[in-house]
Amino acid sequence: MGAAIPASSVVTTALQGDVLVVTIDNPPVNALGAAVRQGLLAAMQQAQADAAVAAVLLVGAGKAFIAGADIREFGKPPVAPILPEVCRAIENLNKPVVAVLHGAALGGGLEVALSAHYRLALPAATLGLPEVNLGLLPGSGGTQRAPRLMGVQAATTLMLSGQPLKAQAALQAGLVDKLVEGTDPLAAGLAYLRELLAANAPVRRTRDLAIAEPQAALAWLDEQKAETAKKSRGLFSPLKIIECVHAALQLPFDEGMARERALFMECLDSPQRAGLIHAFFAEREVVKVPEAQAAQPRPVASIAVIGGGTMGAGIAVAALDAGLPVTMIERDAESIARGRANVEKVYNALVAKGRMTEAAQAAVMARYTGSTDYADIAQVDLVIEAVFEDIEVKKAVFRELDRVCKPGAVLATNTSYLDIDAIAAATGRPQDVIGLHFFSPANIMKLLEIVVPAKVAPDVVATAFELAKKLKKVPVRAGVCDGFIGNRILAVYKQAADYLLEDGASPYEIDAAVRGFGFAMGPFQVTDLAGGDIGWATRKRRAATRDPKARYVEIADRICERGWFGQKTGRGFYLYPDGARTGQPDPEVLAIVDAERAKKGVTPRSFSADEIMRRYMAAMVNEGANVVHEGIALRPLDVDVTFVAGYGFPRHRGGPMKWADMTGLDKVLADIEAFAKEDPLFWKLSPLLVQLVRAGRNFDSLNQAEKS
């Protein structure tokens, strides 16, 4: 074997016989930083110039081939060579180039592999083009080469989903040429390359391949365009991906590449990308909380769930999916049977869809136990209470847990609103009590609010964050207050929507404006989905403490008084004929709205979609600022992650606080001051918002202050 020559410190070349082995070694995941790009380009120049080289093998050191771009370069000016240039040099080499894929070959990493002449995969390889998740499109030939290798439909689906393919699926799709068993990429790659050389395999450039069935592909692409416009809710990179694939079908390769580059640059410069990059980094930053940095988590090898309703069953499924044994406690045999059925229903649906085998379901359910006896959970490491949302009921459960659970067990409540300090005080071990606020359905929704009461031990907070990681949740640290971060802010912008409704906008106009902004559903659709009776019960609970001077809109109460609770009763703000999931506007609801306006002496006025969203967002941002100001959220980014992960906030806008920064805090402040002339009690300026505008700062400056 020839001596290893560093093409750069992170890319080395070594001659093995007549094969130049080019190794990318940039731990931890061989990201495509400038030094890697420079090293790859130099290695191609070396291979071209050296007559002793008959072929080139590209291989990644460590656990991946190349997992994509270097996130440390995000937002910085590009450093030469840019990746399309590197890919072109690989493809243009007049000696066969083989890429061996093991571990992650994602984004630019897969684009490098697509530029090679042959691709070999090991079983653990994952291949994907996830750029759409960051508001981008594959910008180094991915949109031009993938359709040539795997066909338009498969390539477009890969890019629009952002989801990776496993090695076997990639082989079937034509993205790789061969799949071999084994774990040593170098040995597998050399063996494959020797086979190719022995067979006089030609240089086979992806750019020269014809796209299969171009006419059918064009027709499919046009259908997909309309579908994507509907699904992407204002996010434009998916439509740009379709435009690039269109170019691959209709233009010569070099012109297609130029089109891809131009559209890539458009995406790069867009505020949508800034929002998505913010969301990406915020989700990494959100786990950095003082308690988790100060303490080690307690071990959690078993879990108990108290309550087998929808929420308890969802939590049980999330824990079972993470490989944990779960004991569910209910009050009687009938409730236990119902709880078990709720858990099994989730797995039955997966089996029915072919996404799980019956054997796998049986193996998961073997880790599930139902019981009516608290003594059965004496040895579990962590308990999550998910009973009826009533403080006295919850205190009774915690007194029982205090009596039976082993010392050091973590005792968590899943309350959405209630005072966790009061729940902890019902035990003799408040240091072990924490809030774990799951969102329904708990096995699907990503957000987990970790609510930190006054007396909790730091290692319990660290344990909660560790559990979130195990359950594949996005955790956000919240302080104790009515509604924590998410529901507290939700209550305020929902009120703003109610005021808009009484002042002249219809529920259907408000929902349409909110959807137009990028939410999947508007507030009145969400009420119908969740059940109007839930909010009605909360309003009745708070009636005694409501400020008599505060404006109160009774429209939702009038609707609930008729027994119209939304989808489950067939009507709410919308009509759901014959169990339909999509509602239709209801003239009787509009009549109720008119009657309530008349009763209050309100002369209705019209609102544009922009006016609706300015009020809706101003209410959200103002309360978000209060939540940060009071320390309920550690940083503005915690509010952003809460809303993107749990409340359907459009990810490409980054979250409410990032949206406010991009809009301009001075503009948001001016809006609130104008609205306050009509209702100074509701539109009370957050001191933090005023302070930041005066200082010429934005919310992100507070995120940065936390990091430094």
pLDDT of residue 81: 95
CATH number, span 300-484: 3.40.50.720
> Facing residues of 166 across strands?
126
Q: How far apart are CA 496 and CA 490, in angstroms?
A: 10
Average pLDDT over residues 686-693: 98
Q: Is the pLDDT of residue 560 over 50?
A: yes
Q: How far apart are CA 489 and CA 510, in angstroms?
A: 18
Tokens of 621: 């941002």
| Mean pLDDT score of the chain | 95
Q: Let me know: does 507 contact 553? Beta carbons within 8 Å.
A: no
What confidence category does residue 581 fall into, taking pLDDT thresholds of 50, 70 and 90?
confident
Which DSSP letter does residue 393 get? H
Question: Is 291 a catalytic site residue?
Answer: no
Q: Let me know: does 326 contact 319? Beta carbons within 8 Å.
A: yes
Q: How far apart are CA 60 and CA 693, in angstroms?
A: 49
Which residue, chain included where needed, has tokens 């759901």? 576
Q: Residues, the chain, total?
A: 708
Q: Is the pLDDT of residue 152 over 60?
A: yes
Q: Return the closest-CA partner of residue 310 out of 331, 332, 341, 348.
A: 341
Average pLDDT over residues 346-355: 96
pLDDT in tens, 5-55: 555 689 999 999 999 999 999 999 999 999 999 999 999 999 999 999 999
- The identity of residue 220, as a single letter, is W
- The identity of residue 3, as a single letter, is A
Q: Let me know: does 585 contact 574? Beta carbons within 8 Å.
A: yes
CATH number, span 506-605: 1.10.1040.50
pLDDT in tens, 75-114: 788 899 999 999 999 999 999 999 999 999 999 999 999 9
Q: Return the closest-CA partner of residue 135 out of 243, 239, 33.
A: 239
pLDDT of residue 651: 94
The topology under which CATH files domain 5-224 is 2-enoyl-CoA Hydratase; Chain A, domain 1 (3.90.226)
Average pLDDT over residues 611-634: 98
Q: Is the pLDDT of residue 548 over 60?
A: yes
Q: What is the largest CA-CA distance in the chain?
A: 92
Q: Rounded to 5, what percent of the chain is helix, strand, coil?
A: 55, 10, 35
What confidence category does residue 148 fall into, taking pLDDT thresholds of 50, 70 and 90?
very high
Ordered by start, the domain boundaries in the chain are: 5-224, 300-484, 506-605
Question: Is 131 a catalytic site residue?
Answer: yes
Q: Return the closest-CA partner of residue 125 out of 196, 183, 76.
A: 183
Q: Which of 73, 85, 91, 111 is catalytic?
A: 111
Q: Which of 73, 91, 131, 227 is catalytic?
A: 131
Average pLDDT over residues 147-168: 97
- The identity of residue 397, as a single letter, is V
Q: Return the closest-CA partner of residue 585 out of 522, 649, 491, 498.
A: 522
pLDDT of residue 1: 41
Q: Let me know: does 639 contact 633? Beta carbons within 8 Å.
A: yes
pLDDT of residue 534: 83
DSSP element (H, E) containing 321: helix 310-321
Q: Let me know: does 667 contact 692? Beta carbons within 8 Å.
A: no
pLDDT of residue 3: 45
Q: Is the pLDDT of residue 129 over 70?
A: yes
> DSSP letters along 21-64, please?
EEEE--TTTT---HHHHHHHHHHHHHHHH-TT--EEEEEESTT-
Which residue, chain included where needed, has tokens 């002369």? 603
Average pLDDT over residues 480-488: 93
Q: Is the pLDDT of residue 4 over 70?
A: no
Q: How far apart are CA 301 and CA 381, in angstroms?
A: 6
Q: Return the closest-CA partner of residue 115 out of 41, 201, 165, 224.
A: 41
Provide CB contacts within 8 A for 609, sequence distance 6+: 509, 512, 513, 516
Average pLDDT over residues 276-302: 95
What is the tally of helices (H) and strands (E) in the chain?
A: 30, 20
- Spatial strand order in the sheet of 55-60: 5-8, 11-16, 19-24, 55-60, 97-101, 118-121, 178-179
pLDDT in tens, 428-458: 999 999 999 999 899 999 999 999 999 999 9
pLDDT of residue 2: 44
Q: Is the pLDDT of residue 532 over 50?
A: yes
Dump strand ranges (E) for 334-455: 368-371, 382-385, 410-413, 433-438, 447-452
Q: How far, CA to CA in Å, does 335 sit from each of 166, 175, 338, 396?
A: 41, 51, 5, 18
CA dihedral sign, ordered 268, 271, 273, 274 = positive
Q: How far apart are CA 242 and CA 276, in angstroms?
A: 20
3-class DSSP state for residue 701? helix
Q: How far apart are CA 90 and CA 41, in angstroms?
A: 8
Q: How far apart are CA 241 and CA 254, in angstroms?
A: 17
Q: How far, CA to CA in Å, does 539 sit from each of 49, 393, 491, 530?
A: 77, 19, 10, 15
Which residue, chain included where needed, has tokens 């729940």? 423
Share of the chain above pLDDT 70, in %: 98
Comparing 400 with 482, the larger pLDDT belongs to 400
Share of the chain above pLDDT 90, in %: 89
Q: Return the closest-CA partner of residue 310 out of 531, 461, 519, 475.
A: 531
Q: How far apart are CA 161 and CA 140, in angstroms?
A: 18
| First vs last C-alpha separation in the chain | 48
User: Does 407 sit behind a cis peptide bond, omega within 30 degrees of 0 on the bond before it?
Assistant: no
* Helix/strand/coil (H/E/C) assignment for every residue in 546-599: CCCCCCCCCHHHHHHHCCCCEHHHCECCEECHHHCCCCEECHHHHHHHHHHHHH
pLDDT in tens, 411-425: 999 998 889 999 999
Q: Return the closest-CA partner of residue 336 out of 380, 301, 305, 377.
A: 305
Q: Is the pLDDT of residue 584 over 90?
A: yes
DSSP element (H, E) containing 272: helix 271-285
What confidence category does residue 234 fall into, taking pLDDT thresholds of 50, 70 and 90?
confident
pLDDT of residue 226: 87
pLDDT in tens, 180-230: 998 999 999 999 999 999 999 999 999 999 998 999 999 999 999 988 988
pLDDT in tens, 302-312: 999 999 999 99
Q: Return the closest-CA partner of residue 371 out of 340, 320, 336.
A: 336
Q: Where are the alpha helices (DSSP H) in 630-664?
A: 636-646, 656-663
